Amino acid sequence: MKRAPVWFCSFLAGNHREQRRFRDELASMKGAWPLLMKQRRGGKWTPEEKDKLKGMVRSASSVSPYLFIWAIPGSMLLLPFLAWYLDTRRKQRTKA
C-alpha cells in the first residue's frame, strides 16, 4: 500500500492544527453573551469583566477569517429561507 504524498500529509497536519486553534478560540469565548448583556440589563462591568471582554474580542477577531470563509457563504444561501420563516411567524402573530 502506498503512502500519501508529503505535501498532502503536510496539508492534513496544518488543517488539524487550525481546527484545534479554532476550537480553542471558541472555547475561550464561552460565556460572552451573559457578560455582554449585563450592562444592558442595568448592571456595571467590573475591571476584571472588562479585561475578560477584551480577551473575548481578541479571540473573536482571530476567528473572523474562518467565519468569512465558512459561515457567510452558507448564511447567504439560508437568508431567503430565514426571511420566509420570520414572515410566516409574523403573519401568525397578527392573526391571533
Question: Does the pLDDT value for residue 42 go beyond 70?
Answer: yes
Other beta carbons less than 10 A from residue 59's beta carbon: 17
Identify the pLDDT of residue 71.
67
- Residue 95, pLDDT > 80, answer no
pLDDT level of residue 34 (50, 70, 90 thresholds) = confident
Joined together, the cell numbers standing for residue 52 give 475578560
Q: Number of structural domains, the chain?
A: 1
Closest listed residue to residue 35, CA positions, set 72, 68, 60: 60
The model carries a pTM of: 0.48
Contact of 70 with 43, CB cutoff 8 Å: no
In a domain? residue 20: yes
Q: Which domain holds residue 33?
A: 6-95
What is the amino acid identity at position 15? N
d(C-alpha 58, C-alpha 64), whole Å: 10
| Selected residue with higher pLDDT from 63 and 58 | 58
pLDDT for the residue 48: 92
Q: Is residue 26 part of a domain?
A: yes
**Assigned domain for 1 exists:** no
pLDDT band at 90 (very low <50, low <70, confident <90, very high): confident
Residue 61 lies in a domain: yes
Phi, psi of 4 (to 5 degrees): -70, 155
Residues 72-89: pLDDT tens digits?
667 777 778 878 888 888
